[in-house]
Chains A and B, each alone.
Chain A
Amino acid sequence: MNRSVPSQQSASIDKPGLLQALRRLVPDEALLDQREDLRPYECDGLSAYRELPLAVVLPNTLEQVQAVLRLCHGVGVPVVARGAGTGLSGGALPHREGVVLSLAKFSAILDIDADKRLARVQPGVRNLAISQAAQPHGLYYAPDPSSQIACTIGGNVAENSGGVHCLKYGLTVHNIQQLKIITIEGELLTLGGSGLDSPGYDLLALMTGSEGMLGVIAEVTVKLLPIPERAQVILAAFDDIVAAGRAVGDIIAAGIIPAGLEMMDRLAIQAAEDFVHAGYPREAAAILLCEVDGTNEEVSAHILQVREILHAAGASEVRTARDAAERETFWKGRKAAFPAVGRLSPDYYCMDGTIPRKHLPRVLQTIEELSQQYGLAVANVFHAGDGNLHPLILYDANKPGELERTEAFGARILELCVQAGGTITGEHGVGVEKINQMCSQFASGELAQFHAVKAAFDEQGLLNPGKAVPTLHRCAELGAMHVHHGQLPFAELDRF
């Protein structure tokens, strides 16, 4: 099944001329233009969308990257940056008349400064590789997306990725100090600095989460943290998902910010249990995994408190991992939850909305109702502590109409998140996937402002065109009814 790709038209390109020019800039083996070589790049982690680019370039020096960008800028060819291609929103989906710029060869850790607790790395370095390199110094890099063995730090910055530990330690934006970027014009710029702040506008923040639309991330300096003296995890089972949701708020109300606070519903528990045998209570309606870390004394105090809170919140069972091995086991089920759910059905579709936590019970209830209405099962595995939902919709792409039904269901879930005062994406980005839902999240004024920001960096719109921010026209055509200050949306555009 193949989804159509939004607005990919651009002036027709002289392909042989472009390839010839690229060949002068990068070594032969760093330029791919044969169909079979382009295949591996046709999609990212959201494989329902596929497209072949004109070419893929894999430069290995910043000068080459600069030269490629200058060339593309000069001839008006779109450029799509790509890390590991694990993105879940089609952000790295190629442009059919453009070039994919792979940063995969930039995989060196340039410097670990244990005193300053900083690591300076190239954009193609894998997330986990940073923590591994920092470990001998007693340090680690906190943001830990579940894809951390594969995804690159450049991709993490481009998506502002989070992980299980971002409730306490923040997202990518909170854990980087400096970026080197290359503009579409091929200019190398440094954002941020060697101190904790830098003069002028916070371009470091603006670049983070910009989905490859504002510049190419060429180097990243990340902050490292000391490995906590102790970390301990508690598993609590609930007969009722509403009570589990309430327990999350109770822990936070008690003044405790756990390192991680994750929830799984029955379908997810059973799938994980069948897959990795983590010892989860199969009959529970929901489980919570609550990890606390810090100094020895702090962890001891918090573990006691959290146990009491969970009991008081009506947990049917509360288990504390006795040692590191058991802690691993508790987490194993959570970490394997996506592939575990993947075993239940031929395909699954991972959603990524965030809501204010207090609406968890209502939103989960509505998702359940929608699930019955659409005739598609849903497993919920999510970052409960920060209200970031990951409903996994189970479907079979080979059954006619099922993908369309899944997408319609997914869109309803995202709109539900917006209505609950939340957002259509907590960490996976908009990409091509959620471009239509951007029309429900934002009114025309905000979208126009985003386009103006884009133009400030990339006037011709060559970096990752068609992603992340929909055109006003597209939203008007969709007729999304975003009622803003009581005005009709897109009143300035013609209706037909």
Chain B
Amino acid sequence: MSDQDISTDLQERVCAAAHQPTAVCIRGGDSKAFYGRTVAGEVLQVGGHRGIINYAPTELVITARAGTPLSELEQALAAHRQMLAFEPPHYGEGATLGGTIACNLSGPRRAWAGAARDFLLGCRLINGKGESLSFGGEVMKNVAGYDVSRLMCGAMGTLGVLLEVSLKVLPRPEAEATLCLQISDSEALGQLHTWARRCLPISASCHDGSELSLRLSGTQGAVDAARKRLGGEAVSDSELFWQRLREQRHAFFHTQKPLWRLSLASDTPPLPLDGKWLYEWGGALRWLISEAPPRMVRAAVEKVGGHATLFRGGDRDGAVFQPLPAGLLKLHRNLKQAFDPHGIFNRGRLYPDL
């Protein structure tokens, strides 16, 4: 498929849907259909709206249409030794830029480099009235108006159809290496927090229940020096290891049981929930494979001030995301109303009445 601009088309379709009103289900590459709550509605294919519009390596910015395949974007960046530093998971061949931003999913580097939302500079979107609007821009610093672009990150398409996205990009590190230490989960948490207070070029961590893998990124000298300081065994194919982890092709993820994603304070002690655990992001992200009742998972997580997402499997019509306190839910409803007054976009994908 080649680059094309179908924004006029998309805008007309949204206007028509708003007029009826009919529910619209926004679809990019369909790689993340498993994620979020079940959604009904007429499918709006945005995958055809694709192509890189502007890429200026020395400006550290790339702008592309939302349907652009993530892989195409990453190839373009790699040619200039640059990258999306939030290492977005694809979860399928068709993953698009728009879907990546709408889900705000980030990979192993997130705890050190930032999430998708941290790299978003601007976007163009169609709101629920069918208006094509542009927020933010292509510059690093911009405080004109409310930060509407970042609000789209993680909104799961409930506030608008993304048309174009501008992201900050970063140089790839000169060198990377992964080392592996045979320590328990609690020991790993302790170690990670000691290291976090030092100036070390750590860029990813993973504890799979039996061992801790740690990635180092930076200049060759910095990586070599840190390897000496930290010890452990070298992992031979560093890149492949983190890529498999990011794409959930690591053996841990081979399961038919529900997969939970827990976001917690990094130093939370191991939680008393039955199941298999894998820790990333220095302890702040924890994957749990468990058939424990959702109630129980949520209660355990709430107790330590975190939140849990039923990432894959389980009841997709139930509460997939952690329920919001009343005050926040009210603001969410007001914002939904502000962007999508007829309630046409991805109804219920995030929460039942958004």
Q: Interface residues, chain A, CB within 8 Å of chain B? A: 114-117, 137-139, 159-160, 162, 166-167, 170-171, 173-174, 183, 187, 189, 191, 193-203, 205-206, 208-210, 213-214, 226-229, 249-250, 252-253, 255-257, 294-298, 300-302, 354-358, 383, 386-388, 421-430, 434, 438, 441-442, 445-446, 449-450, 452-457, 468-469, 485
A253-B57, A388-B140 known; A199-B309 Cβ under 8 A: yes
A160:B143 contact, CB within 8 angstroms: yes
A209:B56 contact, CB within 8 angstroms: no
Chain B residues with CB under 8 A of A421: 137-139
Chain B residues with CB under 8 A of A452: 338-339
Task: Kindly state whether residue B150 has any CB partner on chain A within 8 Å.
Answer: yes
A255:B331 contact, CB within 8 angstroms: no
B170:A257 contact, CB within 8 angstroms: yes
Give chain A nearest CB distance to B323 CB in angstroms: 8
Can you name 6 A-B pairs with beta carbons within 8 Å?
A114-B197, A200-B321, A249-B59, A253-B58, A298-B222, A429-B143
Q: Determine which of B81, B115, B306, B334 lies in contact with A194 in the assembled complex, contact meaning CB atoms within 8 Å.
A: B306
Q: Determine which of B59, B147, B196 lies in contact with A208 in the assembled complex, contact meaning CB atoms within 8 Å.
A: B147
Q: Interface residues, chain B, CB within 8 Å of chain A? A: 56-61, 81, 104, 110-111, 114-115, 117-118, 127, 131-135, 137-148, 150-151, 153-155, 159, 170-172, 174, 193, 196-201, 218-222, 224-226, 262-267, 281, 284-285, 304-307, 309, 321-322, 324-325, 327-328, 331-332, 334-335, 337-339, 350-351
Report the bound CA distance from A468 to B224 in whole Å. 49
In this complex, what residue of B is CB-closest to A485? B132
A256-B171, A298-B221, A354-B140 known; A209-B322 Cβ under 8 A: no
Q: Determine which of B59, B145, B321 lies in contact with A442 in the assembled complex, contact meaning CB atoms within 8 Å.
A: B145
Chain A residues with CB under 8 A of B61: 356
A295:B201 contact, CB within 8 angstroms: yes
Chain A residues with CB under 8 A of B127: 449
A355:B59 contact, CB within 8 angstroms: no
Chain B residues with CB under 8 A of A171: 141
Report the bound CA distance from A485 to B5 in whole Å. 14
Chain B residues with CB under 8 A of A202: 104, 117, 150-151, 153-155
A456:B146 contact, CB within 8 angstroms: no
Q: Determine which of B110, B141, B306, B325 lies in contact with A426 in the assembled complex, contact meaning CB atoms within 8 Å.
A: B141
Give chain B nearest CB distance to A201 CB in angstroms: 6
A210:B201 contact, CB within 8 angstroms: no
Q: What 4 A-B pairs come out closest when comparing CB atoms? A: A195-B263, A297-B221, A255-B171, A456-B334
**A115, A137, A227, A294 — which one has the most chain B CB atoms within 10 A of its CB?**
A115
Chain B residues with CB under 8 A of A426: 139, 141-143
B59:A357 contact, CB within 8 angstroms: yes
Chain B residues with CB under 8 A of A469: 145-146
**B61, B111, B331, B338 — which one has the most chain A CB atoms within 10 A of its CB?**
B331
Report the bound CA distance from A208 to B226 in whole Å. 36
Chain B residues with CB under 8 A of A456: 331, 334-335, 337-338
Report the bound CA distance from A449 to B126 in whole Å. 11
Chain B residues with CB under 8 A of A445: 131-133
Additional A-B contact list (18), CB under 8 Å, known A202-B117, A297-B222, A386-B141:
A116-B267, A159-B143, A171-B141, A183-B327, A196-B115, A197-B154, A199-B309, A200-B328, A202-B151, A205-B153, A226-B199, A255-B171, A255-B174, A295-B218, A297-B219, A357-B58, A357-B59, A445-B133
**A137, A166, A174, A453 — which one has the most chain B CB atoms within 10 A of its CB?**
A453
In this complex, what residue of B is CB-closest to A295? B222
Number of A-B contacts (CB under 8 A): 260
A200-B350, A297-B225 known; A170-B267 Cβ under 8 A: no
B267:A115 contact, CB within 8 angstroms: yes
**B114, B225, B305, B328 — which one has the most chain A CB atoms within 10 A of its CB?**
B328
Report the bound CA distance from A355 to B56 in whole Å. 13
Chain B residues with CB under 8 A of A228: 199
A202-B151, A295-B201, A453-B338 known; A358-B117 Cβ under 8 A: no
B219:A301 contact, CB within 8 angstroms: yes
Chain B residues with CB under 8 A of A424: 144
A257-B170, A354-B141 known; A453-B307 Cβ under 8 A: no
Chain A residues with CB under 8 A of B334: 455-457
Give chain B nearest CB distance to A472 CB in angstroms: 13
A170:B118 contact, CB within 8 angstroms: yes
Chain A residues with CB under 8 A of B115: 196-197
A227:B147 contact, CB within 8 angstroms: no
A195-B263, A298-B219, A357-B59 known; A167-B140 Cβ under 8 A: yes
Q: Determine which of B81, B111, B139, B332 lies in contact with A201 in the assembled complex, contact meaning CB atoms within 8 Å.
A: B332
In this complex, what residue of A is CB-closest to B320? A199
B57:A449 contact, CB within 8 angstroms: no
Give chain A nearest CB distance to B338 CB in angstroms: 4
Chain A residues with CB under 8 A of B331: 189, 201, 203, 456-457
Chain A residues with CB under 8 A of B264: 194-195
Q: Determine which of A198, A422, A428 lies in contact with B137 in the assembled complex, contact meaning CB atoms within 8 Å.
A: A422
Q: Determine which of A199, A200, A226, A449 lies in contact with B338 in the assembled complex, contact meaning CB atoms within 8 Å.
A: A449
Report the bound CA distance from A229 to B334 in whole Å. 47
**A250, A255, A355 — which one has the most chain B CB atoms within 10 A of its CB?**
A255
Chain A residues with CB under 8 A of B131: 445, 449
In this complex, what residue of B is CB-closest to A437? B144
A226:B197 contact, CB within 8 angstroms: yes
Chain A residues with CB under 8 A of B338: 449, 452-453, 455-456
A138-B197, A170-B114 known; A449-B144 Cβ under 8 A: no
Give chain A nearest CB distance to B136 CB in angstroms: 8
Give chain A nearest CB distance to B14 CB in angstroms: 13
Give chain B nearest CB distance to A96 CB in angstroms: 25
Give chain A nearest CB distance to B82 CB in angstroms: 8
Chain A residues with CB under 8 A of B221: 297-298, 300-301
B139:A355 contact, CB within 8 angstroms: yes
In this complex, what residue of A is CB-closest to B141? A426
Report the bound CA distance from A422 to B174 in whole Å. 31
In this complex, what residue of B is CB-closest to A354? B139
A173:B328 contact, CB within 8 angstroms: no
A196:B138 contact, CB within 8 angstroms: no
**A195, A300, A358, A457 — which one has the most chain B CB atoms within 10 A of its CB?**
A195
Give chain B nearest CB distance to A158 CB in angstroms: 10
B143:A196 contact, CB within 8 angstroms: no
Q: Determine which of A114, A115, A295 lies in contact with B199 in the assembled complex, contact meaning CB atoms within 8 Å.
A: A295
A187:B58 contact, CB within 8 angstroms: no
Report the bound CA distance from A356 to B200 in whole Å. 32
Report the bound CA distance from A469 to B80 in whole Å. 39
In this complex, what residue of A is CB-closest to B173? A255
